[in-house]
Amino acid sequence: MKEASSTDPIGQNLIKLISNVCFSLFIFSVLLFTVIAITYQPPDPWLESAKALTKVFTQVENATFKNDASILQTGEDLVALAPAVSPAAVDPITTDTIEKSEEKIVNSSSTFNCDATLEQVNCSDPRVLIAIEKFNLKVFKSIVFLQYQIPVNGSKPNECDVAWRYRNKKEKSWRKYRDFRRFRLGIGDNCTYEVSGAKGWHSGTNARRPRGKISSSSSRSGRAPRVSPPVRDEEINDTIPTVGSDAAFRKGRYLYYSRGGDYCKGMNHYLWSFLCGLGEAQYLNRTFVMDLSICLAATYNPSHKDEEGKDFRYYFDFEHLKEEASIVEEGEFLRDWKKVNKAHKKKIPVRKVASYKITPMQLRKDKSTIIQRQFDAPEPENYWYRVCEGSAAKYVQRPWHAVWKSKRLMNIVSEISGRMDWDFDAVHVVRGEKAQNKELWPHLDSDTSPDAIVEKLKGIIQPWRNIYIATNELFYNYFDKLRSYYKVHLLDDYKELWGNTSEWYNETKLLNDGHPVEFDGYMRVAVDTEVLYRAKNRVETFYNLTKDCKDGINTC
One domain for residues 262 and 333: yes
pLDDT value of residue 71 = 61
Amino acid identity, position 347 = K
- Size (the chain), residues: 556
How confident is the model over 375-400, as a mean pLDDT? 95
Show the domain range for 385: 246-402
Q: Using omega within 30 degrees of 0 as the cis cutoff, is the peptide bond preceding 9 cis?
A: no
pLDDT value of residue 302 = 81
> Per the domain annotation, does 377 fall within a domain?
yes
Q: Report the C-alpha gap between 223 and 276 in whole angstroms.
A: 33
Q: Which residues pair with 145 in a beta bridge?
A: 166
One domain for residues 360 and 471: no
One domain for residues 173 and 275: no
One domain for residues 251 and 397: yes
What is the CATH number for 435? Answer: 3.40.50
One domain for residues 138 and 163: yes
Q: Report the C-alpha gap between 93 and 90 in whole angstroms.
A: 9
One domain for residues 252 and 378: yes
Where a domain ends, among 13, 42, 59? 59
How confident is the model over 14-22, as a mean pLDDT? 70
For residue 24, the tally of other CB atoms under 10 A from its CB is: 10
> Per the domain annotation, does 79 fall within a domain?
no
Distances (CA, A) of 489 to 207, 300, 398, 537: 27, 22, 37, 15
pLDDT value of residue 241 = 83
> Per the domain annotation, does 80 fall within a domain?
no
One domain for residues 433 and 335: no
Query: What is the tally of structural domains in the chain?
Result: 4
Residue 450 host element (H or E)? helix 450-458
Contacts of 310 (CB under 8 A, 6+ apart): 293, 294, 295, 296, 520
- Confidence bin at 213 (pLDDT 50/70/90): very low
One domain for residues 413 and 435: yes
Q: Report the C-alpha gap between 22 and 28 in whole angstroms.
A: 10
Reported as a single tens digit per residue, the pLDDT across 415-470 is: 999 999 999 999 999 999 999 999 999 999 999 999 999 999 998 999 999 999 99
* C-alpha closest to that of 277 among 348, 315, 330, 331: 330
> Per the domain annotation, does 415 fall within a domain?
yes
Q: Is the pLDDT of residue 179 over 80?
A: yes
One domain for residues 256 and 202: no
Reported as a single tens digit per residue, the pLDDT across 137-172 is: 999 999 999 999 999 999 999 999 999 999 998 887
> Per the domain annotation, does 82 fall within a domain?
no
Contacts of 107 (CB under 8 A, 6+ apart): none
One domain for residues 394 and 416: no
